[in-house]
């Protein structure tokens, strides 16, 4: 158990470290009474965003906190179903973000998170250094790019909602099945 958690954390740290400006998405299982932490070394003045959502388990809630390299908590929320935390780093070092299910004694959770590091690069390399106005085609490209990013975010949201709804439907189906079996047994006992 602990070795597997350490290997996952090291793999994620290596993956995040390989991304200069970018990010990663991960879905993880968070057992009851457990906490999972991830670490990322960041330079000063870098923007990062942590988005997370509980897909299944319990009341679909989890504790989350982010610490800077000095151990100062810069974000902390308890029993949240989902949230987004944008931040610009003030000091260089290893930032830690953790998901905790320590308050739950019997329900495992499935948590999705998206950790984005750095600002999005411009569509064209010389876009930020231009003095003249954008041409109509360049403006249309920027608009299309922004709309596509919005579509990607919407698709991710809908995919997570579908997974959450599927989990609830399977849980409800299981309860209905057990109830039906119980009613059948009671019917047989009464008939006899």
Kindly report the pTM of this predicted structure.
0.66
Strands across the sheet containing 47-56: 22-30, 109-117, 47-56, 82-88
pLDDT of residue 143: 83
93: region left, alpha or beta (phi > 0 left; psi from -120 to 50 alpha): left
Q: Quick check: 111 and 27 in contact, CB under 8 A? A: yes
pLDDT of residue 68: 94
pLDDT of residue 8: 44
Question: Which residues of the chain are under the pLDDT cut of 70?
Answer: 1-22, 121-134
> SS3 sequence, 56-95?
ECCCCCEEEEEECCCCCEEEEEEEECEEEEEEECCCCEEE
pLDDT of residue 130: 59
pLDDT of residue 164: 81
């Amino acid at each position: 158990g602990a070795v597997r958690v350490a290997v996952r954390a090291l793999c994620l740290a290596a993956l995040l470290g390989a991304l200069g400006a970018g990010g990663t998405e991960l879905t993880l299982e968070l057992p009851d009474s457990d906490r999972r932490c991830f670490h990322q070394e960041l330079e000063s003045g870098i923007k990062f965003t942590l988005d997370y959502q509980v897909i299944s388990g319990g009341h679909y809630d989890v504790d989350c906190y982010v610490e800077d390299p000095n151990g100062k908590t810069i974000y902390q929320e308890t029993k949240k179903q989902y949230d987004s935390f944008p931040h610009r780093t003030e000091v260089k070092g290893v930032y830690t973000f953790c998901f905790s299910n320590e308050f739950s004694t019997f329900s495992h959770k499935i948590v999705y998170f998206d950790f984005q590091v750095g600002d999005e690069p411009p569509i064209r390399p010389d876009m930020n250094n231009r003095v003249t106005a954008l041409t109509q085609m360049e403006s249309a490209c920027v608009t299309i790019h922004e709309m596509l990013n919005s579509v990607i975010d919407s698709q991710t949201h809908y995919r997570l909602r579908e997974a959450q709804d599927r989990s609830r439907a399977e849980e409800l189906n299981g309860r209905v099945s057990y109830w039906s079996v119980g009613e059948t047994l009671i019917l047989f006992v009464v008939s006899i």
